[in-house]
Structure 1
Amino acid sequence: DVNPFIPEFIKIGVDALNPLEVKAGMDPIFLKQKYGKDLVLHGGVNAVLWDKPEQIKAEMERVIPILKENGGYIFSSDHSVPDSVSLNDFRAIINLAKELGTY
């Protein structure tokens, strides 16, 4: 959780933040609302859900539209994608990211 350091990162010229690990306390929507004008956000889609098709779909539909507002968002999981994610599920996630993340 690097939340306490973000204002300092911005002061020293950091202009992008990765990762946005949800289970470590990083809330990508909060970060977008608070720092979106100063930082490009990369990640923030909870990897714990990637092998749960309905849950990851709902999470992506919840966060991506907010994170992409006014630009400054790069889609990615918030951590390593679990090896339990099937190739078909991975493809579905990527296709949904393209659909939801198109500017």
Structure 2
Amino acid sequence: MNGFFSGVWYFLRGPLETILKDIYVRRDFYRKLIAKIGEFNLKAEKNLLERGAMMIEWPDDLGHSRGTFVSPKLYEDLIFPWHAKAIELAHKYGAFVNMHSHGKIDALIPLLVRAKLDLLNPVGPTDNMDLKDLKEKYGGEICFLGGLSKNIGLMSAANLREHLLDRLRVGAPGGGFILGSEGGIPMEMSIENFNFLLKASKKYRKNSPLS
């Protein structure tokens, strides 16, 4: 389904810069906007869950490569309550929740853990998300999906193999990690390297030769 924070600037009042100004100078107005999106999303989510959905996912890009668009305090006040409601609703139906957010959003993860988010993606290296640090701090409380650079399409087979192994060495121990790319499969990736990625992922997932 659509995001909560991102839904406001995608569908009601973009671009992003306008919404960020609203948050600081027209906060009550912003609360009304996100409530419109939030109430719609929760109704849509309930519809999906009643039809048997086993996982709910939404995209909510909350940051850039240097940090979050809003402070953790503002996130907790304005956006987090909607995330928490959506997660709670999914869990009532026995479903998992997978939230997508680009950006260096590690400062928000304690709140997401508090809300019992199941999966967070894509924890990308170009967003400066330190997978090793995240696993050490939150590995037992949240599953990280991603880890692979969006630049895998430009890597040689040898570099791709080493990058893949590095991500598995960091993410796999103790579980709570699903390998994936932070940017999907790039258009510039050769079919040979794509097939190599598939085969190598299956091989190392099954045999775990993390060396």
TM-score by length of 2: 0.46
TM-superposed deviation, 1:81: 2.3
Mapped contact 1:65–1:100 kept (Cα < 8 A): no
More helix by share: 2
Which of structure 1's runs of 4+ aligned residues deviate more than 6 A? none
Aligned partner of 1:8 among 91, 101, 111? 111
User: Matched residues in 1 for 2:199 and 2:133: separation?
Assistant: 25
Aligned partner of 2:162 among 58, 63, 74? 58
TM-superposed deviation, 1:28: 1.5
1:18 equivalent to 2:86? Answer: no
1:42 equivalent to 2:145? Answer: yes
CA distances 1:44-100 after superposition (whole Å, capped 9, x unpaired) = 111213331222211111121331112211111111322111111101011111122
More strand by share: 2
SS in 1 for 2:197: helix
List runs of 5+ in structure 2 lacking aligned partners.
Answer: 1-103
Give me the identity figure in percent: 22
Aligned partner of 2:196 among 84, 92, 95? 92
User: Matched residues in 1 for 2:112 and 2:181: separation?
Assistant: 22
Q: CA RMSD, aligned part only?
A: 1.5
Aligned length: 103
Higher relative contact order (CA 8 A, sep 6+): 1
User: Counterpart of 2:190 in structure 1: which amino acid?
Assistant: S
CA distances 1:23-46 after superposition (whole Å, capped 9, x unpaired) = 111122221122111111100111
Q: Looking at CA atoms only, which structure, 1 or 2, has the larger radius of gyration?
A: 2
| Larger mean Cα displacement after TM superposition, 69-78 or 50-59 | 50-59
1:73 equivalent to 2:177? Answer: yes
